[in-house]
Amino acid sequence: MLSCALGVRQPKLDAQTRAFFRDARPWGFILFREACVSRVQVQALCEELREAAGHDAIVWIDQEGGRVARLKPPEWPVWPACAAYGELFAEAEALGYEAAYLGHRLIAHELKRMGVDGDYAPVLDVPVTGSDKIVGDRAFSPDPKVASVLARAALEGLHDGGVAGCIKHMPGHGRATADSHLALPRVSASELDLTDDVFPFAAMADAEAAMTAHIIYEAWDKDRPATCSAHVIKTILRGRIGFAGLLMSDDLDMKALQYALNGGLKERAEAALEAGCDVVLQCSGVLEDMQAVASGCRPLAGLALVRARAVENFAKRPAREFDPEAGWARFKQLMAGRLSA
């Protein structure tokens, strides 16, 4: 298996893409909005992807709720942005915790029955005043302690539904004043100021997977974004935060890495893996892009393979017994006034 997860933006694979997946054998796939038409179609696509890869590949999706939702109405229901759970938590802590758990348990129910194994959630970023709106209401709360509590509830909801989670964007995207999809953010805060940013990640260091941030943290590495910084990954993420799970890069297509590194997608993949990422993500769905990334990847082996297998164990476990009708009824009751299409 190759140390990458590749984006899929077609509801059924064309012959060239299928042949590439057969040869490359990527560890995983990522479904995007264009690939998700109906429940029956997504289930068939997941089966097709695994057959093409030649192994029981992990299939991921970004289904946070709010702005970041690949599953959309009318085929799928609406989940709120995570800030709504934080607002409820501020009013009644037990109800906010229950809602965060139940919302993600319901997401897991949808994913599991279609054959989707993992959700790139929960977001642990802590937004600060003046930061770019790219995080905004995707965050549970500007309070790092509240963010970590609700993220724990969300991850438990995914796990009980038999779905793996991925905490993001380590070591924290909430202070960035630019969107890393479009630019290379630099964070000039001191190590002391960054304490709040890393707190939720330290509290969730036992998570099975995490995603890096394409951000330069000048207190740690003035030249390279976290994704490609051996110092940030080994000293901060693995050392200080204590994260021992599978570390995945954010999307290599994002312009932050284009501005940070020389070369193309092959070189970005090589840089991220050399710095200490276990798996890289490439999300365009364009065959030439996927081929370039694959050429910079290596087979999963050693600790990276051990961590990948641990994620697979979370993703392939059966869901706990659950009544989705009762779950939705309770969820709507909890989130009254906070759900909208």
93-114 and 144-160 helices, crossing angle to 10°: 40
**What residue ranges in the chain does DSSP mark as E strands?**
2-8, 26-31, 58-61, 63-65, 68-69, 118-119, 164-165, 167-170, 186-187, 209-212, 216-217, 246-251, 279-282
Under 8 Å CB-to-CB from 291, ≥6 apart: which residues?
20, 24
Residues 55, 56, 181, 206: which is the catalytic one?
181
Q: 250 an active-site residue?
A: yes
Length in residues, the chain: 341
Clarify whether 181 is annotated catalytic.
Answer: yes
Q: Which of 143, 196, 250, 253 is the catalytic position?
A: 250
Contact 213, 250 (CB under 8 A): yes
What are 236's two structure tokens? 């901060």
d(CA 75, CA 191): 46
305's tokens:
């393979």
Which residues are identified as catalytic? 181, 250
